[in-house]
Amino acid sequence: MLNSTNRFIKELRKELTSENVLSELEERYAYAQDASNSINIAGIPDAVVFVRNTEDVISVVKKAKKYKIPIICRGAGTNTVGACRVEHGGIILNFSKMNKILEINKENMTAKVQPGVILGQFQDEVEKLGLFYPPDPSNLRVSTIGGSIAQSSAGAKTFKYGSTKNYILDLEIVTANGEILHTGSDTVKNATGYNLTSLFVGSEGTLGIITEATVKLIVKPESSKVIMAYFDTVDDAVNTVNMIIEQRITPATIDFMDFNAINTVEQFYPTGLLCDKEAALIIEIDGFKNTIDFQEKIINDILLRCKASAIQISHNEEEYNKIWMARRSSMGACAKIKPNVTTDDVIVPRNNLAKLVKGIQNICEKYNLTTCLVGHVGDGSVHPQIPIDYNDADEYSRFKLAKSEIYDLTISLNGTISGEHGIGADKREAISKVVNTSALNYMREIKKVFDPENILNPYKIF
């Protein structure tokens, strides 16, 4: 006698073919973890299901509803908060076969994409046509558009261009009932009813399943250049951020690496970073070619006034890529120090940035933890990356205490516990520190409206 899960999987296999339904133990284990790198694998999926089109998704959802089986969507699994871990059984819905760019419309400056499209590849295709899709999480070479929408991802270029939220015009959603819902329209403006698009962006797969997205594009800046400025103190680096912003010039990015991040990257992925410096800012300027020198001069003057002790400037694409590769390698490099690595994502209003950066460094020092600090500091956003050995119980308990203090510090500085990585499973307990009871209750009611049976990524976020 088959139980309901087995009946469900049997039906899926019949409809989607066996090659699209993986259920061997080792296959299921491979999808039990995500980039949150949790200490415990809470559970493993009952099956991993590859969908090829919206009809497949509808069919899976209807069957899951019938058998009350949870569905956990998964793009590349690179979220850092346990958003696609399987805690209550159910299937992983894998979008790697829904990876087509359906349209790039030059006239409208919009594109339609399936959720499994790799973000970096999409940017490349758009840029070939002189257009630009700015949202750029640091791991854009592997993460998917669907995951970035569900997680409300941002990235270095948020400072000038905004985040994923600002570029989504319409989502095709398969609801928990198996119906298709459109959240917006193909137009670049829309004041027609509630803004459902905004509700679904950042909903972490808990409200509906994204099967297609219409995104806004902008004109690709004609030219860009990246300036890596080094400082002998963290204070000097952070003060420089404010000085740049006080001028009427808006770089595309103002990113940050501290001493540990610089040295760890240089140890494992050497690119010629200056290892005796306490901090570095990665400032990208872009725009018309004939404005680049002007912007560079203004920034250079500010850097010198703010005691930058060394400046590296990209003169060609290779040098440009080298600097960004160094910044984007920090988590990979940290992962080489100890068996595990964790990252976090706290954000404060920019005027409290210095207190946050120094505070995190002090907390980690107090608990004898190494931290590599990187961040999109132009936004007030900081990622403490902490290498750790989960087998060391004492280190793990110090790590938990440090995390809690980092959240308390962030909140005391009027910040919040996620600027771009989301809440998932890992920050669920902390959400009530920053979202008040009334707002949380409305969120719970919204969840019930869209997913009354609680089958879509259950119990994530709150």
Ligand X SMILES: Cc1cc2nc3c(=O)[nH]c(=O)nc-3n(C[C@H](O)[C@H](O)[C@H](O)COP(=O)(O)OP(=O)(O)OC[C@H]3O[C@@H](n4cnc5c(N)ncnc54)[C@H](O)[C@@H]3O)c2cc1C
If we measure between CA atoms, which residue out of 205, 146, 200 comes closest to residue 461? 205
HSE at residue 44, side-chain half, CA atoms within 13 A, is: 12
**Choice from 33, 38, 80, 253 touching ligand X (CB under 6 A):** 80
Report whether 173 contacts 201 (CB < 8 A): no
Out of 73, 226, 254, 348, the only residue in the binding site for ligand X (CB under 6 A) is 73
Least gap, CB of 305 to ligand X (angstroms): 29
Residue nearer to ligand X on the CB measure, 143 or 224: 143
Q: Judge contact between 135 and 119, C-beta under 8 A.
A: yes
- Interface of this chain with ligand X, residues 325 to 344, rule: CB under 6 A: 331
- The least CB distance from residue 223 to ligand X, in Å, is 23
- DSSP annotation of 420 reads S
Stretch that binds ligand X, among 38-46, 142-150, 219-227, 295-303 (CB under 6 A): 142-150
DSSP code string of 254-271: EEEEEHHHHHHHHHHS-S
Q: Under DSSP, is residue 376 helix (H, G, I), strand (E, B) or coil?
A: strand
Give the shortest CB-43-to-ligand X separation in angstroms: 15
Task: Note whether 260 binds ligand X by CB under 6 A.
Answer: no
Site for ligand X contains 346 (CB under 6 A): no
Closest residue to bound ligand X by CB? 147
C-alpha 106/C-alpha 219 separation (Å) is 10
- Exposed/middle/buried for residue 89 (C-beta within 10 Å: 0-12, 13-18, 19+): middle
CB nearer to ligand X: give 82 or 221.
82
Helix H or strand E segment including 406: helix 393-412
Q: Which of 47, 60, 150, 443 binds ligand X (CB under 6 A)?
A: 150
Task: By CB under 6 A, tell whether 202 contacts ligand X.
Answer: no
Interface residue with ligand X among 9, 20, 22, 75 (CB under 6 A) is: 75
Whose Cβ is closer to ligand X: residue 204's or residue 236's? Answer: 204
Q: Tell which positions 443-462 bind ligand X, by CB under 6 A.
A: 457
Candidate list 8, 95, 231, 450; residue touching ligand X; CB under 6 A: 95
How many CA within 13 A on the CB side of residue 122? 32
Minimum Å gap between C-beta 140 and ligand X is 7
Judged by beta carbon, residue 277 or residue 460, the one nearer ligand X is 460
- 82 vs 303 by CB, closer to ligand X: 82
Cβ pair 370, 364 in contact under 8 A: yes
CA–CA distances in Å: residue 34 to residues 74, 77, 373: 9, 5, 21
Q: At 157, is the secondary structure helix, strand, or coil?
A: coil
Residues 383-442 binding ligand X (CB under 6 A) are 420-421
**Residue 411 contacts by C-beta under 8 Å, 6 or more apart in sequence?**
417, 433, 434
Please give the structure tokens belonging to residue 364. Answer: 């980690």
- How many residues at the interface with ligand X, by CB under 6 A? 36
The stretch near ligand X (CB under 6 A) out of 5-13, 76-84, 100-108, 289-297 is: 76-84
Residue 459 CB, shortest distance to ligand X, in Å, is 12
Question: Shortest Cβ distance from residue 126 to ligand X (Å)?
Answer: 17
Given the complex with ligand X, which of 83 and 306 has the nearer CB atom?
A: 83
Nearest CA to 337 among 279, 386, 304?
386
Q: Long-range contacts for 125-129 (Cβ within 8 Å, ≥24 apart)?
A: 125/101, 126/217, 126/220, 127/220, 129/104
Q: Which of 111, 210, 353, 356 binds ligand X (CB under 6 A)?
A: 210
Minimum CB distance to ligand X, residue 104 (Å): 20
- Distance between CA atoms of residues 239 and 306, nearest Å: 7
Question: Is residue 205 near ligand X by the rule CB under 6 A?
Answer: yes
The residue count for the chain: 462
Give CA–CA dist 260/364, Å, rounded: 12
Instruction: Among 23, 34, 224, 251, indicate the residue that binds ligand X (CB under 6 A).
Output: 34
Q: Residue numbers of the site for ligand X (CB under 6 A)?
A: 34-35, 72-80, 83-84, 95, 115, 137-139, 143-144, 146-148, 150-151, 153-155, 204-205, 209-210, 331, 420-421, 457
